[in-house]
Structure 1
C-alpha cells in the first residue's frame, strides 16, 4: 500500500503509493481514522500530503499512526449520500465514444450513471476534480485535437477519469454531456463541490 513516507518541511509528511486506487483507499481510511493533529490532506495521483499541527504531533508519531490506518475500498465509502449531479447527455463526442467502446449511447449513459464516482484528486483549474468510478474503466484516449474552449459544466471522459469542467476552458477530453451544477462557487464553503474524497452520482436529465 504505502511505498514511501518522507518529511515535507516541518509540518507535513509526503506519503507515496503505487497506484491511484491506493491513494483513494488510504485517503478514505485516513478520513475515518481522524488522527490527532492532522490539519489537511492533499491528494495527488500517487501521493498524499498530510499536514499536521506540530503542537499536537510530530513526524515520528504521525508516521507510526499512519501504519494503523485501514484503507477503505471505493465501494466502502458509505459515509453520507453521494452528491447528485444531473447531466444532459448530448455531448459532441457522445456518439464517437459509444462507437469506440462498442456500446450504444444509451448503454454508455447507463455505464456513466450506474456507478458511484469518487474525487481522487483536484487540479488543472479550481474545482476540477478527477473522478474515478466503481465500474471497470473504459480507458478512453484523449481527443487527437484539443478544443480551444468548452463551456462551464461540460461533462467529459479521458483515461480512467470523468470530470466536470468548472469554467470555460481548453479541453482535450471526450465530451459526453453537460450539467448546470456549479463545481466551483465562492458562495460555498469549501468553494469546490467535490474536493478529494467526495462521492458523486450522475443522473440523466432530459436529452436535447
Structure 2
C-alpha cells in the first residue's frame, strides 16, 4: 500500500512536470508572435527569446540601429499591469548629457533613469501636463527648443510614458497593452491576450524617435535651433 502511494505521487509529479513544460511551450509560442505583424518594416532584424520570456528585436530601420524590448510592469499594487514597449534608436548625437521626460511619474518606474538624474527641470507651460523632466545638467544646456514639437506630439497620446534623449540616441516608452483586468483582479496574474504589435504603431514610434535624432543633429552642439 505504501509503495502504491509513492508510485501515485511520482506519477502525479511527472504529470505536473509535463503540464508545466506544455504550458511554457505554449506561452513561449504565443509571446513569440509579438513582432510578427511588423517585421517587414526592418532592413534586417534578429529576434531573441529566453525560455517563455517576451522576444526582443534588434535590427535596422531607415539607416538607424534599433532595439525594441517589451517589459511587464506589475510592481504597482492594485494597478492593472502594463506591457511597456521600449523603443530605442541608436545614433551619436551632438549633445552633452541626458534629459528624461516622464509622464505621470509614480516613483515606481524601475525601467527609467529619472531617479539617477540630479537636476529637476521646470516643465514648459506649453507642454502636456503631468510631465516630469530630469537631467544631468541645467536647462540652458539641453535641447528643449528642438524637442518641443516632438514632446507635444508624443505625450499628446495618453499611452506615451517616457522619452529619453542622450548623446547615444533616443528611447521612447509606450504602453503596448494593459493586462486582462479580470484575470489580474481575481488571480493576480498579468495576462496579455493576443499581444501582437500593429505595424502602424511600431512604425510611428520609430519614425518619431528617428525624427528626434535628426532634429537634434541639425540643432548643433546643444541641440538648440
Same fold (TM over 0.5): no
Q: TM-score range by the shorter chain?
A: under 0.3
What TM-score does the superposition give when structure 1 sets the normalisation length?
0.25
Which structure: larger Rg? 2
What TM-score does the superposition give when structure 2 sets the normalisation length?
0.24
Greater helix share, 1 or 2? 2
